[in-house]
Structure 1
């Protein structure tokens, strides 16, 4: 298996380090994230998620040649390595093409658990469309067995079983979208207390938001149209 490295602590991190190997050229990477788009009810959602590893032979036939070239071409069109905006600051975010495209059919989530209960991770796998879950069954941190499950085979059944909850989620997301659109800066924070109580929505302040905290100003100006 090949995967990224994370600094989250716990048995899960050590399990990943021991049973995965970074692909050539990406040894210094800290994590791997993907963004997928799909329809959830009447909503079109863009979902970002983290992937721990790819399962299977990384050299097996898949999206290697044409897709790799198309991806490289598309990345080149972004022109992030040579911004045309003036006053480009040193140390700004730059995109670097590297590694090999990995088909979605090989993505895997890694877990270190004392008890194997696939049902506990099914929501995460379903929403991210991650087909495999690999669980290291351990006793006090010592992995004694590894169980690999092709969770994608269970997606249809899980979806059918949770239709009522998924419909309520779609309604909630649609309601939140309309509420945020009605706010001056179209930005809000949703608070949930696990001990109980109602959801709280706090309108975004005038400070720097999540986007501005991650990306430099020149990239935001070039790729996002901000409405004030």
Structure 2
């Protein structure tokens, strides 16, 4: 029996190697087939998803003909998070996106690159963005402080939102699964149905959270 419920999210070590993090790079075993195999239904589905995301991100960024391909980084980010979220739903596969070390390493460099680009290339725009239009003069210092704080905490909120949603669903499934040994046949059937419904919900959460992460990153980049 686990001493701590959150210990199920800790990486385990075999032969002094933490093999759980290998789940993050399993997808790289599947990517090469896209370059040489004939188009399959899976590849066609991915291309439709990518084109849909490209059109949406292009509207959010306000992309013109000079910066084509700007949506590629956000589509890649969406795909990477989506696949890792889904891999965590399989038994005995480590959920890497439930750790802040993983989510923060995705959010922080992205946010820092946007800030560096914005302050060096669009300094006036970044300064004007600290004070919303129509703000009274007496409130301007307070608005600058509020906007600065809200801007600084953005990578933290991105990372915490993703990891917290992954932990919450998996923790609930773990708690319900541990009660199976003490239930009768009737309640066991109810538990199995509940677990299946929660698994479907977690599949939806995996898609939604990867989409939210990519969309918010796109919106942050559009402000620079």
TM-score (norm 1): 0.23
Larger Rg, first or second structure (1 or 2): 2
TM-score (norm 2): 0.23
The structure with the greater share of residues assigned to strand is 1
Q: Relative contact order: is structure 1 or structure 2 higher (C-alpha 8 Å, sep ≥ 6)?
A: 2
